[in-house]
Structure 1
Amino acid sequence: MSQSVASACVESNSLPPSCDCLAHRFGNAADGPERTPSYVSDMTEAEWRVVRPLLPIPAWLEGRGGRPEGYCHRVMLDAVRYVVDNGVKWANLPADFPPYRRVHAFARRWQVTGLLAELHDRLRDRVRRKEGRLPDPTAAIVDSQSVRAATNIPRPTSGWDGGKKVGGRKRHLVVDCLGLVLAVAVTPASVQDRDAAVGLLEWLRGQYFSTRLVWADGGYAGRLVDWAQDKLQLTLDIVRRTDDTTGFVVLPRRWVVERTLSWLMRSRRLVRDYETLPAMHEAMVLWSMTMLMSSRLAGRRPAAFRRSASRAR
């Protein structure tokens, strides 16, 4: 990156003189120095204006326990986004972020308390409204993706996917017709798609009663189709490849979830599974999607798109 481009990036992303996050207004973050955004993963001012009103209210601010946070919410979010986007170890966070143990504790707390899921769902609803859709979907697509596991992954939570010849974990996604994540579950790679889909479809039916139709590939065929119809009143439509099909073919409806899986692979933290806990890998999927959705709402094209466009020119 040239010096002029870098300076322009920093200038366009600079924090306002006084940050308006809840930790600055009501917590202890006002005593800390302000940070100037300088990485591609940092939120722009437009993104922060989108995210700021959708942030969950901390428990300490509502009198439900805990203590006021000592670090700016925007800085903490940017720190987590840096890890997700660049795939670095928590301990390798740049020095202009808060101490990595505090950032990791922030990300873990948001995962455990459901604050991350709350922010993710609010952003998804905003994107759906922007696209002229109702917040609750009427149809969805389900699929899975096996990823190799790092050496720190506990053996009981990993397995071998014989079909893909991948040892590690498998992330199972249910997405809407825009490709936005509705549900995610991470299992050992040895778990069959139809077995993992049972819990996902039950959760989907309970959370979004308006959903009546789910498209899937041939891995979900069989008894799962009848079970979904009888127990959940949910139609599971299997989209199959024809026998004479060779090579890559875009299949109706299934391409939507395949595109979402490719979106996730842009986040380097998700190219391989580094998370000791499967729940933290699920959180990383949600963090990745919040980055994509906030960029879309702010009218900012992701870096991968910019690079592709420049190469095409």
Structure 2
Amino acid sequence: MQFYAVTPIAFNSSAPSCDCLAHRFGNAGDRPNRMRRYPSDMTDAQWAVVRDALPVPAWLEGRGGQPEGYCHRQMLDAIFYVTDNGIKWRSMPADFPAWDRVYACFRRWREQGLAREFHDRLRGRVRLAEGRAVEPTAAIIDSQSVKAAASVPGVTRGYDGGKKINGRRRHVVTDTLGLLLVVLVTAGNVTDRQAAGLLLPGLRARFRKITLVWADGGYRGRLVTWAKEKLQLTLEIVKRSDDMSGFVVLARRWVVERTLGWLMRSRRLVRDFETLPASSETFIYFSLAMLMSRRLARRAAPAPSADWSSWEVAA
């Protein structure tokens, strides 16, 4: 996989405002930098993490396309702003690039799989920082139903009888740290077992070392035997005991429940507003990319040193 180019190079502008590829190689060298003013904007430490994980544009590798005229950092800040605040594309603040240019960038990343690639690189770095191997050996699967807005077409929405929600369902598989491995957004009436039949083969193809997947009771039945025989995956059902009442933390299952809770911090994901399920999946990748980049930036920041000169010793 190609990583973001970090080789020193002369800038197009005598006073460059950013070190992204669009400023260094493209047509954005003379555009002024915007001030960081929103909580979703990347800090310099966060941008240093994100910059090294960005995919290399096709035009930089001679695979066609036109050099970009918008700063990559500003584009990502704009997408993060939409993800974090849940605004309409046309309500983009004026200090960001034009909304249609930001949406075109989002659409390109969705259609070319760049959002998932970007997310997966950050996940690998987080796992290494936690002392784990890049590729996991075990996973947890679960789903989350959310209401759908009026913009969601009827063909891609459905009624979840268990949760009594008319909308869509997010089926996710995470590693044991709660980091997303694969995601599938379906209509709300698609059951856990039906979605797992589509999700698990893709998980097995991308992560060959995974042999164990924990799940709740919604995945029991023939799916367990099918996964073992066809995919060589052990699907272990973690059940609640009959004497449990109220909220109980269940082993392994709490990890994926926490990940689903992380998603609800992004207002764009509190409901499903997207016409295409692929757009919902892309926003999920961006939401968790924000979380992981912040975590990596905090690790990279030096610990503040104590200023002992300000201490006074009482007599």
Tell me the TM-score normalized by structure 2.
0.89
Q: Please name the residue that 2:48 is paired with.
A: 49
Distance of 2:112 and 2:66 partners within structure 1: 15
Question: RMSD across aligned C-alpha pairs, in angstroms?
Answer: 1.0
What code does the residue aligned with 1:120 have? Answer: H
Distance of 2:115 and 2:160 partners within structure 1: 29
Poorly superposed stretches of 4+, deviation over 6 Å: none
2:143–2:192: 8 Å Cα contact kept in structure 1?
Answer: yes
- The equivalences for 1:296-311 within 5 A come to 296-299=295-298
1:271 and 2:270 aligned: yes
- The equivalences for 1:129-208 within 5 A come to 129-208=128-207
What code does the residue aligned with 2:263 have? Answer: L
1:26 and 2:25 aligned: yes
What code does the residue aligned with 1:235 have? Answer: T
CA deviations over 1:106-139 (Å, ceiling 9, x no partner): 0110111111111100000000000000011000
Distance of 1:36 and 1:27 partners within structure 2: 21
2:16–2:23: 8 Å Cα contact kept in structure 1?
Answer: no
CA deviations over 1:186-226 (Å, ceiling 9, x no partner): 00000000110111110111111100000000000000000
C-alpha displacement of 1:53: 1.2
Distance of 1:67 and 1:185 partners within structure 2: 32
Q: Please name the residue that 1:309 is paired with.
A: none
> More deviation in 174-183 or 25-34?
25-34
Distance of 1:17 and 1:295 partners within structure 2: 25
C-alpha displacement of 1:18: 2.9
Q: Please name the residue that 2:8 is paired with.
A: none
- The equivalences for 1:55-94 within 5 A come to 55-94=54-93
Distance of 2:31 and 2:16 partners within structure 1: 13
Distance of 2:61 and 2:36 partners within structure 1: 29
Q: Please name the residue that 1:127 is paired with.
A: 126
SS, match of residue 54 in structure 1: coil
Distance of 2:222 and 2:134 partners within structure 1: 31
SS, match of residue 134 in structure 2: coil
What code does the residue aligned with 2:297 have? Answer: A
What percentage of residue pairs aligned between the two structures are identical?
Answer: 66
Distance of 1:27 and 1:275 partners within structure 2: 31
CA deviations over 1:246-304 (Å, ceiling 9, x no partner): 1110000000000000000000000000000000000000000000000000018xxxx
2:16–2:29: 8 Å Cα contact kept in structure 1?
Answer: no
Distance of 1:114 and 1:278 partners within structure 2: 14
C-alpha displacement of 1:17: 5.8
Q: Please name the residue that 1:259 is paired with.
A: 258
1:243 and 2:258 aligned: no
Pair member with larger Rg: 2
Distance of 2:234 and 2:42 partners within structure 1: 40
What code does the residue aligned with 2:217 have? Answer: G
Distance of 1:111 and 1:126 partners within structure 2: 22
Distance of 2:181 and 2:246 partners within structure 1: 30
- The equivalences for 1:100-111 within 5 A come to 100-111=99-110
CA deviations over 1:136-191 (Å, ceiling 9, x no partner): 10000000000000001000000000000000000000000000000000000000
C-alpha displacement of 1:244: 1.4
Q: Please name the residue that 2:10 is paired with.
A: none
Distance of 1:126 and 1:227 partners within structure 2: 33
Distance of 2:143 and 2:89 partners within structure 1: 27
Distance of 2:113 and 2:62 partners within structure 1: 18
Q: Please name the residue that 1:211 is paired with.
A: 210
Instruction: Considering fraction of residues, name the structure with more helix.
Output: 1
C-alpha displacement of 1:33: 2.3
What code does the residue aligned with 2:168 have? Answer: R
SS, match of residue 78 in structure 2: helix
Q: Please name the residue that 1:284 is paired with.
A: 283
Please list every run of 5 or more consecutive structure 2 residues that lacks an aligned counterpart in the other structure. Answer: 1-14, 300-315
